Amino acid sequence: MKNYLLIILLLLVLGCRGRQASEDEEPAERIICLSTSHVAFLTELGEADRIVDYQRTIDLERILSLKPDLVLVSWSEEGARLRQMGLRCEVVEEWLETTPLGRAEWIVRIAEFCGVREKGEERFAEISRAYNELAAQVASRTQKRPRVMLNAPYRDVWYVPGDDNYMVRLIEDAGGEWIFSRPGSESYPIDIEQAWLAMQEADVWLNTNDYDSLTALLVDNSRFKETRPVLAGQVFNNNARVTPQGGSDFWESGVVRPDRILRDLVQILHPGNLASDTLYYYRRLQ
C-alpha cells in the first residue's frame, strides 16, 4: 500500500512538468484546451480550427471519445491524470509569468505544438514591438503619474497585488503609479478601512470585479461614493468584452495581446495622448 501511494505521489508531482515535445512528434491536429487562454493563443495564431473541445473541468470520458492528439493543461496535476490514460498533454503555465510580455511569449510554445513555430515567433515579435514602442513613448512624455487603485471587495475582503504582479507592471508601463507598495507578485488582503484611505489619494479606480455599472458598485460599497475616483468619474472596469463562454475577454485574448491592454490603460491614465480614444477591454462605469 505504501509503495502504491508513493507511485501515485510521484506521478502527481512529475505529471508533464518540464516535458518537452520530442522532435519526431507530429504537429497536433486535434487539440483539447482546458483554459480559455489556450483558446486565445490558438486563435491569435489562426489555428483555432485545431480545437476540438474546451473544458473548464476535466471530462475524461469525453476527452477519450474525441481522440485528441494533444491536451493543453494549466497544472501538472491535471497532466499526470491524463498521461496515465495514455494521452499526450502539455502544461501551459503562462499564468505564472509576472510580466505581460512573459505571458504573451507562450504563443511561441503553442505554435510549436502545431508545427508553426516560426509563425509564433513572428506574431510575438509584432506584439512585443507594439508594446515596447508604446511603453517607451509613454515614458518619454509622462510628467505626472496618476495613482491607481485596483479591484473591489469580495466578501468584505479587498485583495490587492504585490509590486511584481502582472497588473502592476501594466499600470507602470502605462505611466501610472500603483498606490500600494509591497514586495512580491502574490495578492494579499487589506481591510475596508485601508482601502478607503487609499481611495482618498487615488486618481483612478480599475478592475472593479464583475460590476457593470457605477450604481451597482456603489450600492454594495456605499462608503466609497465620496472618494476621488468616483467623484471625478474615473472608475473603469475590464469587462467590456465577453467571451462566447461568458467570461472576460481581458483574461482570454488579453493574455496574448498585452499591447491592447496597455493602449487602453494609456488612454485611461493619459487621455488625448493617442490618436484613438476608443477602449477595447475597458469601459467607464456610469
Residue 135 domain-assigned (yes or no): no
Three-class SS state of 149: strand
- Residue ending a domain, among 123, 155, 186, is 123
Min mean pLDDT across 17-21, 117-121, 169-173 is at: 17-21
Q: Domain count for the chain, please give it.
A: 2
Q: Which residues are CB-neighbours of 229 under 8 A, at least 6 positions away? A: 149, 199, 202, 203, 204, 205, 235
Higher local confidence (pLDDT), 275 or 110: 110
Whether residue 41 is found in the same domain as residue 91: yes
Whether residue 21 is found in the same domain as residue 75: yes
Average pLDDT over all residues of the chain: 90
Determine the Cα–Cα distance for residues 128 and 130; give it in Å rounded to an integer: 5
The CA-based angle 48-252-53, given to 5 degrees, is: 40
CATH of the domain at 81: 3.40.50.1980
- Residue ending a domain, among 89, 123, 157, is 123
Determine the Cα–Cα distance for residues 54 and 52; give it in Å rounded to an integer: 7
The backbone torsions φ and ψ at residue 211, rounded to the nearest 5 degrees and listed phi first, read -70, 135
199-215 tens-digit pLDDT = 999 999 999 999 999 99
Q: Does residue 179 contact residue 205 with C-beta atoms inside 8 Å?
A: no
71-86 tens-digit pLDDT = 999 998 888 889 999 9
Residue located via cell numbers 467607464: 284
Where in the sequence is the domain holding 97, given as residue range(s)?
11-123
Whether residue 84 is found in the same domain as residue 115: yes
Whether residue 88 is found in the same domain as residue 155: no
